Amino acid sequence: MGCVEIRALSKRFGEVRAVDHVDLATNEGEFLVLLGPSGCGKTTLLRMIAGIEEPTAGELVIDGRVVTHLPPRMRNIAMVFQSYALYPHMTVYKNIAFPLRARGVKKEAVRKKVEWAAGMFKIGRLLDRKPRELSGGERQRVALARAMVREPSVFLLDEPLSNLDALLRTSAREELRQFQRRVGVTTIYVTHDQVEAMGLGDRIVVMNQGKIRQIGTPMEIYQWPADTFVATFVGSPPMNLLDQGDTLLGFRPETFLPADAVEGSEGVVTYPFEVTYLEYLGAERLVYGNVGEKSHARHVVSRLPGSLILPMEAGKTYPFAVASRDLRRFDKKSGLRREGGPS
Amino acid sequence: MRGPSVSNPAADSARGGILDREGALAKLMIAPAILYIVAMIGVPFVLAVLYSLSDATTGDPSIKLVGLRNFAAALADPVFRLSLWNTVFFTLASQCIVVLLSRLLATALLKTFRGKWLVRFLIMLPWTAPISLGTIGWLWMLDSIFSPIDWVLRYVGLLGVPGALLGGGTNLYYLGIPGLAISSIILVDVWRILPLATVIQLAGLSSIPKDLLEAAEVDGASPWRRTLMITIPLTLPITSIAFLFGVVFTFTDLVVVYVLTRGGPVHTTQVLSSWTFFKGIEGGDLAQGAAISLFMFPVLAAVAILILRMARRTEVV
């Protein structure tokens, strides 16, 4: 139970291809994150899975059943909206009971299920309130409870944490992950926040301009980006890319360190690093500068751990190095990574 | 260096004056509205109450109080009782139709389609025309002899030939037969209020966040359930406001009845406002007219209170 298969799914709005020929399959009970910049088509894809957006072409299979043209209520999916979309005229109890009543569940059974769901999200004491009397975090829990109450086979979440303040977001993220592990429902989660994606996802699907650029575990996405888009979209600051003829040489800022701090069994590549600007961020230090010859000068960033005490000032040049195993090569024209994946 | 006027804060505050004192400013700005209400509504209202308790006529408008005699006389008059019933019936019947039709129209206008602006324009048109002009237009439409509606009915064979569905006569005499006259008045009342109600309903419908309806869809609600559980409850306050506005407009309207039927045939379409006019102005019995018109007051006051309450409820949701 709980597998979504997307076959060559497309959605066009006029001339714009919001989702362009996407193929994707979830694993049983998996937490899959759709990550991408705004307008990349991730929300449209999620809405098509939910059935509130009609695909232009392609096929959608949930639990082995083709549901492409079925209305949402016949798909057994639940969705949490970015705005939570709680019904403002109903109490929390009625909000959570709504999906059950829509399927004609008996009153007594509804009460039991609502209490079960409310208990799971610790909102039992809020059942008589209206949504406007709740805080942001409470609303989010009600929305989750409403989605979970009828035990859907797939759980869709559209940026459910984006309306919470930073502190609450971290704890909500942790709770969400633990909760998903506990119930084991296949979950598809849309976000533009790479920290959320890395922290939550079993696998991440990176999208851009309606296309999937890479599918992989957070580790694969970060360490072995499939192309220069993924390399620069994931990671903050993004991966450095050095122009070398028809190749772009990529390395993460934290692997670009003073030459004496770099060890590499397969050798190291050393660059004279002309520092232009420094940022002290407490736990780390960001060093901006240029490497290579003047004509081919490329701007790169180095991320030094705060524990590395090394006097450094703008305007001077220091020997910096990258271990060879941390170097990634991309084709300059296509942007695709050249060599194979992680060994 | 400071100029003397800058260095004297007391003089400043004195000169900053009324614009800085919010309480006084508020009173000043609301004063014209209060004056207007007192002059245009308060004075005539008090006058009406006084007239209704007097024996004033257009010939002798001096006020000599005679107690509640005028109210008793009005209640004893069968035409008055029919007018009262007609006013309530025309208003409720037309406004129920208006609420249904305006909801349908508003739902249609929410969708995008070719020529939408033209449809909107046509729907708004009755509201922009002066009510008397529009009603005179209807007078022609419903004319006993030259009615274009009759002409069309005759053309398609529903009227004017032996055995036709609507009878063998050449005309239906919309304003001459009681049932048809009543229907005609209600029809014109509907036509009159529909644009306003549609606009209000449209505002109500488009204020429902799209997310809510989508969430309900994903939650498994059928279109019927979505309408009953989400759309109608969420638009109920604003629908009620549309309804109550329509009630006020129709309840107090004189023009439609005056232009179309003058209360006829034989008083069957008489309403409070027309009967007030015929009795008080054309008949010259100011005191009777005032008493009749005051019967509208409790209903209108209740409606006004309801509107204010509804407006508050829409704010809360």
Task: State whether ipTM is beyond 0.90.
Answer: no
* Whether B12 contacts chain A with CB within 8 A: no
CA atoms within 13 A on the CB side of B78: 3
Model confidence at B15: pLDDT above 80 = no
Query: Are residues A164 and A58 part of one domain?
Result: yes
pTM: 0.78
% of chain A at pLDDT higher than 70: 97
* Contact check, Cβ <8 Å, A52/B217: yes
Q: Band of the pLDDT at A343, cuts 50, 70, 90?
A: very low
Whether A337 is covered by a domain: the verdict is: no
Whether B140 is covered by a domain: the verdict is: yes
Query: Are residues A103 and A18 part of one domain?
Result: yes
Query: Are residues A211 and A278 part of one domain?
Result: no
The residue-averaged pLDDT of A100-109 equals 90
Distance from CA of B140 to the nearest CA of A (A): 48
Query: Are residues A36 and A142 part of one domain?
Result: yes
Cβ-Cβ contacts under 8 Å, B211 against chain A: 81-83, 85
Question: Which CATH number covers residue A33?
Answer: 3.40.50.300
Model confidence at B196: pLDDT above 60 = yes
Cβ-Cβ contacts under 8 Å, A54 against chain B: none
Cβ atoms of residues B191 and B101 within 8 Å:
no
* Whether A131 contacts chain B with CB within 8 A: no
CA torsion, ordered B221, B222, B227, B233, to nearest 10 deg:
-20
Which one has a higher pLDDT value, A286 or B19?
A286
pLDDT at residue number A340: 63
The residue-averaged pLDDT of A251-256 equals 93
Query: Are residues A262 and A219 part of one domain?
Result: no
Residue in chain B nearest A99 by alpha carbon = B219
Return the number of other C-beta atoms located less than 10 Å from residue B37's C-beta. Answer: 11
Domain, as residue range, for B89: 77-316
Count of domains observed in chain B = 1
Q: Band of the pLDDT at A125, cuts 50, 70, 90?
A: very high
Q: Band of the pLDDT at B3, cuts 50, 70, 90?
A: very low
- Distance, in Å, from the CA atom of B30 to the CA atom of B19, rounded to the nearest integer, reads 14
Interface of A with B in 65-94 (CB under 8 A): 71-73, 77-79, 81-83, 85, 87-89
Domain, as residue range, for A302: 250-331
Model confidence at B1: pLDDT above 50 = no
* Contact check, Cβ <8 Å, A78/B218: yes
Whether A16 is covered by a domain: the verdict is: yes
Which one has a higher pLDDT value, A68 or A244?
A68
Least confident range from A54-68, A232-246, A256-270: namely A256-270
Query: Are residues A153 and A35 part of one domain?
Result: yes
**Nearest CB to B217; choose among A72, A82, A83:** A72
* Contact check, Cβ <8 Å, B222/A102: yes
Query: Are residues A146 and A49 part of one domain?
Result: yes
Local structure of A107: helix, strand or coil: helix
User: Residue A340 has which token pair?
Assistant: 């194979």
Mutate to test the interface with B, among A44, A47, A52, A82 (most CBs of B within 10 A): A52
Nearest one of A93, A127, A135, A91 to A110, comparing CA atoms: A93
pLDDT at residue number B316: 53
Q: Band of the pLDDT at B308, cuts 50, 70, 90?
A: confident
Model confidence at B5: pLDDT above 60 = no
pLDDT at residue number B14: 53
Cβ atoms of residues B181 and B268 within 8 Å:
yes
- Distance, in Å, from the CA atom of B221 to the CA atom of A78, rounded to the nearest integer, reads 12
Model confidence at B101: pLDDT above 90 = yes
Cβ-Cβ contacts under 8 Å, B220 against chain A: 72-73, 99, 102-103, 150
- Asked if residue B148 has a cis previous peptide bond (ω within 30° of 0), the answer is no
CA atoms within 13 A on the CB side of A314: 8
Per-residue pLDDT reduced to its tens digit, B228-262: 999 998 988 888 888 888 999 999 999 999 998 88
* Whether B220 contacts chain A with CB within 8 A: yes
The residue-averaged pLDDT of B43-71 equals 86
Question: Which CATH number covers residue B227?
Answer: 1.10.3720.10
Whether B13 is covered by a domain: the verdict is: no
Alpha helices in chain A (DSSP H): 42-50, 92-102, 107-120, 136-148, 166-183, 194-200, 218-223, 228-233
Whether B238 is covered by a domain: the verdict is: yes
Average predicted confidence (pLDDT) for chain A: 89
Per-residue pLDDT reduced to its tens digit, A69-94: 999 988 889 999 999 999 999 999 99
pLDDT at residue number A208: 93
User: Residue A24 has which token pair?
Assistant: 């994707």
Whether B124 is covered by a domain: the verdict is: yes
Per-residue pLDDT reduced to its tens digit, A286-298: 999 998 766 565 8
Whether A286 is covered by a domain: the verdict is: yes
Model confidence at A27: pLDDT above 50 = yes
User: Residue A333 has which token pair?
Assistant: 């024209």
Buried b (16+ CB within 10 A) or exposed e, A115-136: eebbebbebeebbeebbeebee
How many residues are there in chain B?
317
* Whether A41 contacts chain B with CB within 8 A: no
The residue-averaged pLDDT of B159-186 equals 83
pLDDT at residue number A175: 87
